[in-house]
Amino acid sequence: MDNCPLQVLTVPTAPYPDQRPGSSGLRKKVYVFQSRRHYLHNFIQSIFSSIDLRDRQGSTMVVGGDGRFFNQTAIEVIVQMAAANGVGRLIIGQHGIMSTPAVSCVIRKYKAIGGIILTASHNPGGPDGDFGIKFNTANGGPAQEAVTNKIFQISRTIEEFAICPALRVNLASLGKQMFDLENKFKPFTVEIVDSVESYANLLRNIFDFAALKELLSGENHIKIRLDGMHGVVGPYVRRIFCEELGSPANSAISCVPMEDFGGQHPDPNLTYAADLVDAMRDGQYDFGAAFDGDGDRNMILGKHGFFVTPSDSVAVIADNIFCIPYFQQTGVRGFARSMPTSAALDKVAKATKIELYETPTGWKYFGNLMDAGRLSLCGEESFGTGGDHIREKDGIWAVLAWLSILATRRQSVEDIVKDHWLKYGRNYFTRYDYEDVDLDVACEMMEDLEILMVDKSFVGQRFAVGDKIYQVEKADNFEYTDPIHSTISRNQGLRIIFSDGSRIIYRLSGTGSGGATVRIYIDSYEKEHIFQDTQVMLGPLATISLKISQLHNRTGRSGPLKSFT
């Protein structure tokens, strides 16, 4: 600690109109943060100013990021501004790296008032990629809409920010660093922590690590392949799966975090995790998984690349939930899924008589239910699965859950999933993404589509494709009343529900940094024809979805940039 107190400055600034946080924080292209004067500073000050001064003064906050380009630059600014804004202690992951699930864990462990996560999740990194800032509150979960609205309102009128520009922190050195500031009675403390240990210790108390070690390194061990996609999870995978559970070091691939994710798109799906899919095809590996940039999403594969949809994944975990010791102790309070996610989980909830919640997209909705003791397990079709141990989706937790099921049942991934379909029937599900659509075009299309759907004559209409006929039973714009706070979230996605339970859903996504992403979700339940090709089974509904929306004509697109099956 330097003997000379560091100066705190108040710097004039001007607001920007475009700092409204989406469902996963503020995401923009890197050049926006680099080229617009005080753009980063404005948003960070807006976060601090949204916290009551009495709560902020002397408080503890957590900072971590996925290691993408601009991460360290942003952390330096956050440290300087946290000190100037009265925060007493910052806990930061070594080298500025900490997965989103680990940040949630550390917030809860140290009873921090919140945390700042620097990530654009599964979006590309590097100088030409995306950068994001997300604020999590004291429960460890994403800030509620009332908080993000407050941050946005402050950002629109901000006139100045506080900063301690001479403060320099060493992100590589574990331990405490203390700084005297002028006009401050207590020193400001930065604590650099092992990014993995607190989170790994939490997982040790959830899963049977001895059984998992036997599965991965015992006499009859299975072979696994885990793809970190050069995101934040690399150190977590090596420490937990290789060093602790005994899986060979070469079972972890692309596990060195890189600022540009190795030039790849860190999105764990069949398109962007193609290297893993190819490696699984020849059958030498029994289990495969990929993780996204910040470690909260996952993709599960079985031998020969058998793909487990995220919707099926959460349903299978739910049906085998007592393979996880944590739930043997706590019991199961409830299940939940986001509205666009297939209804596979609903079948398990009904059979087990466990309450099911259908929420809008966004993990914050699950967090409310967890905080109220109503929810134990939840998932989203966008490759997110998690439990109530933290308040974020959790890729490594999902993989350990699957391995716990394998350790208990001693079956292959494919056999477990097919047994599930035989027991409950199968929800065929896919999602089509039309990315970087002109925002005005996308909004106009959605408005016209809603006008069409809410017309009384729409319900009852029949759509025929080949020998398949679908009759509209219900059409609406999904809204959700939070059972805890009674708040209402409107305009959460256009739903067409047919008489056989099949669904077509249209949404504009809020997780990109460019133009709009139009998403079409298709979900169809089959009790008997459960081993067919997904695209063949959903082909008629896909045709109907395009006919109703006129999406190709309206956007000028001939097909989606990405599809997820």
pLDDT of residue 22: 84
Q: Which residues are catalytic?
A: 121
pLDDT of residue 186: 86
pLDDT of residue 382: 93
Give the residue from 15, 18, 34 showing the smallest Cα distance to 26.
18
Token match 């899924």: residue? 337
pLDDT of residue 174: 98
pLDDT of residue 436: 87
pLDDT of residue 418: 98
Regions of the chain with pLDDT less than 70? 1-3, 510-514, 560-565
Q: Render pLDDT for 529-559 as a digit per residue (tens, 0 to 9).
A: 999 999 999 999 999 999 999 999 998 887 7
Domain 426-564, what fold? TATA-Binding Protein (3.30.310)
Identify whether the C-beta of residue 84 lies closer than 8 Å to the C-beta of residue 9: yes
Question: Model-level pTM?
Answer: 0.96
**Is 198-424 in the same CATH topology as 9-194?**
yes
List the structure tokens of 124: 């590309």
Rounded to whole angstroms, how far apart are CA atoms 278 and 270? 10
Give the residue from 100, 185, 543, 538 showing the smallest Cα distance to 342.
538
The domain limits of the chain are: 9-194, 198-424, 426-564
102 Rama sector, left if φ>0, alpha if ψ -120 to 50, beta otherwise: alpha
Token match 């395009």: residue? 546
For the chain, the residue count is: 565
Q: What percent of the chain has pLDDT over 70?
A: 98
pLDDT of residue 149: 96
Give the residue from 539, 534, 505, 318 showing the smallest Cα distance to 426.
534
pLDDT of residue 513: 54
Q: If DSSP codes are grouped into helix, strand and coil, which group holds residue 92?
A: strand
Rounded to whole angstroms, how far apart are CA atoms 41 and 36? 10
List the structure tokens of 534: 């997904």
User: Domain spanning 198-424: which CATH class is it, in words?
Assistant: alpha beta
Identify whether the C-beta of residue 10 lies closer than 8 Å to the C-beta of residue 160: yes
In CATH, which superfamily holds the domain spanning 9-194?
A: Alpha-D-Glucose-1,6-Bisphosphate, subunit A, domain 3 (3.40.120.10)
State phi, psi for 190 to the nearest 5 degrees.
-115, 125
pLDDT of residue 514: 63
Three-point CA angle 256, 261, 265, nearest 5°: 140
Give the residue from 116, 121, 57 showing the smallest Cα distance to 92.
116
pLDDT of residue 4: 85
Per DSSP (E only), the strands in 213-331 are 224-227, 252-253, 287-291, 298-302, 307-308
Identify whether the C-beta of residue 236 lies closer than 8 Å to the C-beta of residue 396: yes
215 Rama sector, left if φ>0, alpha if ψ -120 to 50, beta otherwise: alpha
